[in-house]
């Protein structure tokens, strides 16, 4: 699906106090209205505090009520009529990219990622028909962002900051019986890195190169890695605060200020996306504009930033990363970071709809579209698998083409070969605990794809176009599993 299948629905909120002015734009049509809420109001301050409590389960109804209130207070009058028209015009397979340009800090601090069309029970941040992103366009605070599009091969630098010092502090608190409350979670960066590598295993090195910097990373080590690798995507795994990121210093883990991180990344003009998998670094300040680390990075010209607005459990952070990179290369719109983020959020919501996990990641996207990777090149995910010559010849002829017995036999052999491959897969990868769930998910996915192939072949008449599309989908999943197993065998 190309970016032309996604339409922008832009919402701008302006003003310094209630009522705030709202202006919406969709394909040249505009509507305006007013919004009466902000994070400084006591009820909203309390609600945000409840949502931000990492260890608690808010409950699905509470989350939907919060998002439903935001939705109903935003979309009313002329704004609602424009929204209904935009949604009604969506055809099968099309998407609506909702771009929130919220300038008052107290309004930006509201939990917009919970935005819910309550009457239809549709969470905009986790619905495959929508992309919910934040943008910043005020020339007072940001300049023009660089292009988001990468050249092949795209370069990913994963930086995992060792947090054993925090592990020891947590152990001391547990041993002493101290209730740590909302203390930081220790990071299992090895598991997260494994998930990312598994998600990208089907992508050839001609399209994606991955470098990993792991350990007691200080700011100078990070600077040298950036200068050496010139990454397009920078993925950082660490702990954070709204105004900085923890890296190593002379006295252990130290909070490095947002200004320092921004100054360093401003020197690296190759970066198109920064993924900050660290607590709180995306949390907007409710009184000061562009106070968070994520927002400061936008000021350097980086077009896309993913960051967490609340504290996040380590398990959830790793799951989100795995979901995101998997969707980025093999999702419904390969290469689109906004679509991948929606799919990843949806994965978290499906895992546990009673938690706010899905609405914790923010995506800032200062670009007309989210197409960060070129994934439509014919060589991208072809792998080492190819169709048999009779079937390949059939595909080169105009449709519809009468299917002969020989062609049907060739199709059956194609599917039988894939069935034989599936049956020889190991039951599990138990020695590699960090990958056992990812492997099980991928195996279940390829089993479902195989069943779809078999069902399509049994249909009369056989839909050759659908069959070949499903063969291609199966082979992408097959390549991913084969690459994962090959890498595991090398590590034994």
Q: pLDDT (tens digit, 0 to 9) for every residue of the chain, 492 residues total?
A: 444 478 899 999 999 999 999 999 998 899 999 999 999 999 999 999 988 876 667 888 999 999 999 999 999 999 999 999 999 887 656 789 999 999 999 999 999 999 999 888 889 998 888 999 999 988 888 888 999 999 989 999 999 999 876 555 544 444 444 444 434 467 888 889 988 998 888 888 888 999 999 999 999 999 999 999 999 999 999 999 989 999 999 989 999 999 999 999 999 999 999 999 999 999 999 999 998 999 999 999 999 999 999 999 988 999 999 999 999 998 888 899 999 999 999 999 988 999 999 999 999 999 988 999 976 543 444 444 444 444 445 444 444 455 567 777 777 888 888 889 989 888 876 655 545 556 676 777 778 778 877 887 777 776 666 676 677 667 767 776 776 677 666 555
Residue count of the chain, please give it.
492
Q: Looking at residue 258, what is its pLDDT?
A: 94
Q: Looking at residue 181, what is its pLDDT?
A: 43
Cα→Cα distances 133→190, 342, 360, 367, 480, Å: 29, 9, 13, 11, 29
CB 218 within 8 A of CB 225: no
Rounded-to-integer distance, Cα 190 and Cα 246, Å: 18
Those residues whose C-beta lies under 8 Å from the C-beta of residue 159, and which sit 6 or more positions away, are 213, 214, 217, 222, 225, 234, 235, 236, 237, 238
Helix axes 314-330, 337-351, angle to 10 degrees: 140
Task: Spell out the domain ranges in the chain.
Answer: 3-134, 154-365, 389-491
Q: Looking at residue 375, what is its pLDDT?
A: 67
Tell me which fold the domain 154-365 belongs to: Rossmann fold (3.40.50)
The sign one gets for the Cα dihedral 461, 463, 464, 470 is: negative
CB 435 within 8 A of CB 198: yes
Rounded-to-integer distance, Cα 1 and Cα 4, Å: 8
CB 253 within 8 A of CB 239: yes
Rounded-to-integer distance, Cα 344 and Cα 338, Å: 10
- Give the up-direction half-sphere exposure of residue 451: CA atoms within 13 A in the CB hemisphere: 6
Instruction: State the distance between the two ends of the chain, measured CA to CA, in whole angstroms.
Output: 39
CB 343 within 8 A of CB 327: yes
CB 391 within 8 A of CB 448: no
Nearest to 367 by CA among 149, 41, 120: 149
Q: What is the H or E stretch that residue 196 is in?
A: helix 189-199
Rounded-to-integer distance, Cα 212 and Cα 433, Å: 20
Q: What are the structure tokens assigned to 354, written together?
A: 């009673």
Q: What are the structure tokens assigned to 220, written together?
A: 């100078």
Counting DSSP H helices and E strands in the chain, the numbers are 15, 16
Rounded-to-integer distance, Cα 61 and Cα 33, Å: 28
Rounded-to-integer distance, Cα 187 and Cα 324, Å: 18
Q: Looking at residue 301, what is its pLDDT?
A: 94
Q: Looking at residue 406, what is its pLDDT?
A: 73
- Give this prediction's pTM: 0.76
CB 299 within 8 A of CB 290: yes
Which spans in 307-364 are helix H? 314-330, 337-351
Q: Looking at residue 427, what is its pLDDT?
A: 82
- In the DSSP assignment, the letter for residue 376 is -
Q: Looking at residue 394, what is its pLDDT?
A: 47
């Amino acid at each position: 699906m190309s970016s032309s299948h996604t339409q922008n629905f832009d919402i701008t909120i302006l003003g310094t106090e209630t009522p705030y002015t709202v202006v919406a734009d969709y394909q040249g049509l505009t509507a305006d209205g007013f919004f009466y809420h902000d994070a400084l109001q006591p009820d909203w301050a309390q609600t945000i505090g409840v949502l931000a409590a990492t260890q608690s389960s808010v409950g699905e109804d509470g989350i939907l009520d919060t998002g439903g209130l935001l939705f109903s207070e935003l979309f009313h009058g002329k704004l609602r009529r424009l929204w209904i028209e935009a949604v009604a015009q969506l055809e099968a397979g099309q998407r609506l990219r909702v771009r929130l340009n919220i300038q008052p800090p107290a309004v930006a601090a509201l939990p917009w990622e919970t935005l819910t069309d309550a009457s239809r029970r549709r969470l905009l941040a986790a619905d495959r028909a929508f992309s919910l992103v934040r943008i910043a366009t005020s020339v007072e605070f940001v300049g023009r962002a660089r292009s988001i599009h990468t050249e092949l091969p795209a370069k990913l630098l994963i930086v995992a900051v060792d947090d054993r010092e925090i592990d020891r502090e947590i152990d001391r608190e547990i041993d002493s019986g101290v209730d740590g409350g909302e203390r930081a979670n220790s990071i299992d960066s090895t598991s997260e890195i494994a998930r990312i590598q598994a998600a990208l295993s089907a992508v050839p090195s001609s399209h994606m190169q991955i470098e990993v910097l792991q350990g007691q990373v200080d700011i100078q080590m990070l600077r040298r890695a950036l200068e050496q690798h010139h990454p397009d995507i920078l993925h950082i795994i660490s702990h954070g605060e709204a105004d900085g990121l923890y890296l190593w210093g002379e006295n252990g883990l130290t909070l490095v200020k947002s200004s320092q991180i921004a100054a360093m990344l401003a020197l690296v003009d190759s970066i198109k996306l920064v993924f900050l998998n660290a607590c709180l670094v995306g949390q907007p300040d409710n009184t000061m504009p562009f106070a968070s680390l994520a927002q400061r990075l936008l000021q350097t010209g980086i077009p896309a930033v993913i960051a967490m607005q609340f504290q996040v459990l380590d398990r959830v952070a790793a799951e989100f990363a795995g979901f995101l990179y998997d969707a980025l290369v093999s999702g419904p719109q390969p290469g689109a970071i906004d679509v991948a983020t929606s799919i990843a959020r949806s994965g978290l919501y499906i895992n546990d709809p009673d938690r706010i996990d899905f609405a914790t990641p923010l995506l800032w996207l200062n670009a007309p579209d989210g197409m960060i990777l070129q994934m439509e090149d014919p060589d991208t995910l072809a792998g080492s698998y190819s169709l048999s010559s009779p079937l390949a010849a059939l595909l080169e002829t105009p449709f519809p083409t009468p299917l002969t017995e020989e062609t049907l036999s060739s199709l059956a052999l194609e599917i039988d070969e894939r069935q034989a491959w599936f049956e020889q897969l190991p039951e599990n990868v138990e020695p590699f605990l960090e990958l056992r769930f990812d492997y099980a998910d991928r195996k279940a996915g390829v089993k479902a794809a195989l069943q779809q192939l078999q069902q399509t072949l049994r249909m009369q008449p056989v839909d050759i176009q659908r069959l070949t599309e499903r063969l291609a989908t199966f082979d992408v999943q097959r390549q991913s599993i084969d690459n994962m197993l090959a890498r595991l065998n090398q590590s034994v």
